[in-house]
Amino acid sequence: MGQKEVVYVVSDSVGETAGFVVKAVATQFNGGQVDIRRNSYVEDFEDIEDVLLLAVKDQSIIAYTIVIPTLKEYLDRRAQEEGIIAVDLLSPLMKAFEAKFNKEPHHRPGLMRKLDEEYFRKIEAIEFAVKYDDGRDPRGITKADIVLIGVSRTSKTPLSMYLAHQRFKVANVPLVPEVQPPEELFQIPRKNCIGLIISPDKLNEIRKERLRALGLASRANYASFERILKELDHAEKIMKRVGCPIIDVSNKAVEETAGLILDVLKKERSL
């Protein structure tokens, strides 16, 4: 290709998919010297006529990703009448899927973009949970959708990650008698916070196992009943001061506790 050829990319959504495909093909011809002109959110016959006028003038190709059947059929017919090559980038694969899965496609534009947005929200929430895990930075408390508070080994971190996968930004704060809780905890709305409690027996069992796994069985104080009761008493006082809902995590799987957290918050606010 000596000069830059024009390709019109037409879509009833953003048009990124068609743009990528055109670029990929163009690189196989003289280094990809193609002028790609995108026409996004095409939603009626008039929009298609506007593109056709330009394509006829430039004698260019139209590459399109249109999932609305009436628009697709109209573009195919009018392109043929005007002697313009219009390439449907989706239909062959959609027909293969339809035949294979014996299902009708939704024919709704923008579904890929919706999936992408949900994916990036999830990644953002996971990064947030990592950054504001274990009270590392109290500034996360005011930015979080959900703040989890409780003593050590009440599943705060696993719950934060599980809820992050459901696109909630979660910060968690350990409650320790020797450490003053961050002031931010008392500044946020009570509906943003959940207190996690656990039975002394269960916590004793979990902590003993944790010490064994770390080879620190000699640190008996961490798992002693006296220490555990002191921590739980301190945590309960903080939770009452915050005024947050409280959930008992004893003998509950992370998934079950997460479900309870979301149920409690739905009563407090609209999620």
Host domain of residue 16: 5-109
Q: Does 14 show up as a binding residue in the annotation?
A: no
Tallying the residues shown for the chain, one arrives at: 271
Per-residue pLDDT of 224-258, as tens digits, reads 999 999 999 999 999 999 999 999 999 999 999 99
110 or 139, which is more confident: 139
138 and 257: one domain? yes
Q: Is 65 annotated as a binding residue?
A: no
User: For the whole model, what pTM was predicted?
Assistant: 0.61
Question: Could you read off the pLDDT of 126-162 as tens digits, one per residue?
Answer: 999 999 999 999 999 999 999 999 999 999 999 999 9
* Residue 60 marked ligand-binding: no
Domain total for the chain? Answer: 2
CATH, residue 256: 3.40.50
Band (9; pLDDT cuts 50, 70, 90): very high
Would you call 167 helix, strand, or coil by DSSP? coil
Strand duo 193-197 + 170-174: pairing: unpaired
Specify whether 219 is located in the same domain as 148.
yes
C-alpha pair distances (Å), 207 with each of 186, 199, 234: 28, 12, 18
CA atoms of 25 and 101, how far apart (whole Å): 29
27 annotated as belonging to a binding site for a ligand: no
150 among annotated binding-site residues = yes
β-pair partners for 48: none
Terminal C-alpha separation, the chain: 55
